[in-house]
Structure 1
Amino acid sequence: MEKQPVSEASLVTQRLRDLRVRAGHPSLDDLRRLTGEVGPRAVARSTIQDKLSGNSQPSLDQLIILVRACCLYAQRHDVPLSADLADLDQWRELWYQAKGESADRSRRAQDDEAPPLRTATADVSAKESHAESRQLDVDAPSTEDMPTGDVGKGQSTPLSTLEVAYRARLAATRQRDAELFRSVGVAPTYNGVRDAIDRAYELGMIPSSGCRVALPRTILNVRFLPGANGYEEFPLVRLEDSGPEMISLVDWAEGEESVDFLMALNTAVQAIGRHPGDDVFDPTRIFVDLQSLLEIAYALSIGSEWQVWNRVTRIVEFHPPQWVVTEDFIVSVDPSNPHALHRSDFQNDEKIRQMLDLEWVDRQSFARAHDSAKGLVGLPPF
């Protein structure tokens, strides 16, 4: 039997399958998630399977999104790809050939505005973080159907390309920030803590005086100060009581491990006669609580979950599991119970009693936050 020639349409499918294999064979779920990062929305899993099986041919937009998704998967898994497989112009040419058309330069220009793919041949770190995008089980729309906006007089251009680029950059930034703050509690290091505190200060999440967490089983607090505020050594860590006065500095030199710092902290607590005993003293908890403080402050700074408190100022302390102290408020971090007490009411006994009478209030957490907040603004803690 004479071998049938391969159609141009089949070549698109075959080449797309080949790219998937050479990129490390991402699963359909991987591709669905990644298309949500490189395109305006995620392409449905069933649609991806349909295009890869050859049951139907992808639109040009779908093809470019799938190519970008495969290349992004390869980049994140350190899989080298040849330049031709990542060349979007070649993919467009192949698609137009399959349609029996010549590539239209004006239509290419729209796609060329999108951020370039970072392949293994690009001079970009393979460690770039990525974010989980909200997945919509629908096909990616054509750019021809998207709204346009004015750019100067008599001009219009698709908004989708810029919006997609912005959303992708924003998602990557959010993910990097989340990983940075999470690392403080999961695997604390000198550089990790330093970068997290500096980032929090840069974003206005904490004041220039830094933030602090309670030292378990003591009446002490551990304050972390951002290096961006002019302090020569960082992290500059100090012990404080309920007020802002420093009791002792705790040295953490660059290159020292977190356990070295914890031993120095243990020594400092013992030296001032505040050590509660080895059986109950667990200073490792400060990193977990610092992680929680930073994550809460980050959520507040972007209006996530606690949107009602968009007026809340920078966070100074976290008293788990329920209350944070800001520059002006004591705030509940329970999204279902958004309550706050302004500094003008810190000595209002009636309001304090009303707060403590609420069934959902963690009284111990609130009491610690209240005492600390009063000390920070110069009021008697009791």
Structure 2
Amino acid sequence: MRKVYFWIALVISISLFFIGASTPIASLLPFPAAWTSWVSNLFISIGASIAIFAPLFFLERKLEGKLNEFEKSQKEIKRNQGRLEGESQAARDSISSLTKEVKRTQEELSKAVINKLASGRKNDEELILSVKNSPDRSTIIEAIARARELRLIPDTGCRTTIPAVVELYARFSPSQIRLHEGLTIPIEIDDSRPIESIIWHEGQDVIDFLAELALKLQDLGLYPGDAVFDSSEIFRELSDLLGLSHKAVTGSHGLTYPLGEVIQIVQPQWVINSKGIINYDGPGEYFISAKRFNEMDWWNHVTRKGWVDNISFGKAFDTAKLLVEQGEMEMD
């Protein structure tokens, strides 16, 4: 529509200019002759003014229209930005909610798995505790078999201290389990060589078994006397050994610990396993492989450390070297 107005104004301005500029045409106008020149100049001025200012007017109107369109587009952009920001915030909230839900699900799953593991461990822990709290033949057999199944002890079994006038040990080995023939328990010295054995017969209670063990020691001339023969210590130490190894393998107290397959516990700090000796108490893991026993002066090297219990370390190291001589430990 503006184009039509523009062309009309242009035609009018040209017409007025032409009328004013043309003397013959101006003389035909119904004005006195004296006014002809003035009227002619007036038409020329009006025509020129229209010719000059009409385009500017229409240009201004066009610019104003463009400006209005720009303002409208800006408002539309702002509205769209607001809508997009709202949608973006909603999306962020949705993602945040989904992330929290996933995290909660993962935590619940992890907790459920841990609870499941804890439930399974509970039976093992109760079995291990019953070794010292209410020992009997079937409990010992079950505990040793389960310990081997979990690789808490090696195939050759583990051993505990027997109170005697010399260092003696009772060997509890999976290979010695005969459910209907009795449980054979070798009695051995430091280097694992057996000097005697005792059979825990089916149906025999723990008191009769320990009394028979005491008589066996008397026959060997190794009985220490009633005042120091604490026979229950055999099963307390066995329970401690299995419990310590079980906690290390399962990580039931937080993290697993590489105790390995334990042969003997040397309280209060070291154990002998199938590959060497390792501390179970201290600021960190300290393992000495059996194949490195003769590499250096381990006694001076280790006992300089402030956290080391020298008596426990010395006993574990010396005993482990004896076991190596008898082929009891792995050297690869």
**Shared topology, TM-score over 0.5?**
yes
Which secondary structure does the structure 2 equivalent of 1:293 belong to?
Answer: helix
Deviations 1:344-373 (A, max 9, x none): 232345222222233332222222212221
Residue 157 of structure 2: aligned partner: 210
Are the aligned partners of 1:235 and 1:252 in contact in 2 as well (CA < 8 Å)? yes
Which secondary structure does the structure 2 equivalent of 1:325 belong to?
Answer: strand
- In the alignment of these two chains, the number of paired residues is 229
Closer, same or farther: CA 198–375 of 1 in aligned 2, 3 Å: same
Residue 51 of structure 1: aligned partner: none
Are the aligned partners of 1:306 and 1:338 in contact in 2 as well (CA < 8 Å)? no
Deviations 1:299-352 (A, max 9, x none): 221245695843x43111111222110011211111534322221232345222
| Mapped pair 1:147 → 2:102 | yes
Residue 18 of structure 2: aligned partner: none
Q: C-alpha distance in 1, partners of 2:140/2:162?
A: 17
Tell me which protein shows more helix as a share of its residues: 2
> Alpha-carbon deviation of 1:227?
5.4
Residue 313 of structure 1: aligned partner: 260
Are the aligned partners of 2:262 and 2:273 in contact in 1 as well (CA < 8 Å)? yes
Q: Quick one: which of 274, 296, 301 aligns to 1:354?
A: 301
5+ residue gaps, structure 1, are: 1-142, 149-157
Are the aligned partners of 1:318 and 1:324 in contact in 2 as well (CA < 8 Å)? yes
Tell me the TM-score normalised to structure 1 length.
0.53
Are the aligned partners of 2:176 and 2:184 in contact in 1 as well (CA < 8 Å)? no
AA matched with 1:192: T
Matches within 5 A, 1:337-352: 337-352=284-299
Q: C-alpha distance in 1, partners of 2:189/2:116?
A: 42
Closer, same or farther: CA 200–343 of 1 in aligned 2, 3 Å: same
Which secondary structure does the structure 1 equivalent of 2:163 belong to?
Answer: coil
Closer, same or farther: CA 144–340 of 1 in aligned 2, 3 Å: closer
Q: C-alpha distance in 1, partners of 2:265/2:110?
A: 36
Tell me the TM-score normalised to structure 2 length.
0.60
Larger of the two Rg values belongs to structure: 2
Q: C-alpha distance in 2, partners of 1:294/1:192?
A: 13
Q: C-alpha distance in 1, partners of 2:210/2:178?
A: 25
Are the aligned partners of 1:236 and 1:250 in contact in 2 as well (CA < 8 Å)? yes
5+ residue gaps, structure 2, are: 1-97, 328-332
Are the aligned partners of 1:324 and 1:332 in contact in 2 as well (CA < 8 Å)? yes
Residue 371 of structure 1: aligned partner: 318
Residue 272 of structure 1: aligned partner: 220
Q: Which moved more, 1:209-218 or 1:319-328?
A: 209-218
The sequence identity of aligned pairs, in percent, is 31
> Alpha-carbon deviation of 1:278?
2.4
Q: C-alpha distance in 2, partners of 1:342/1:266?
A: 36
Aligned CA-pair RMSD: 3.1
AA matched with 1:245: R
AA matched with 2:102: P
Q: C-alpha distance in 2, partners of 1:208/1:325?
A: 14
Matches within 5 A, 1:296-311: 296-303=244-251, 309-310=257-258
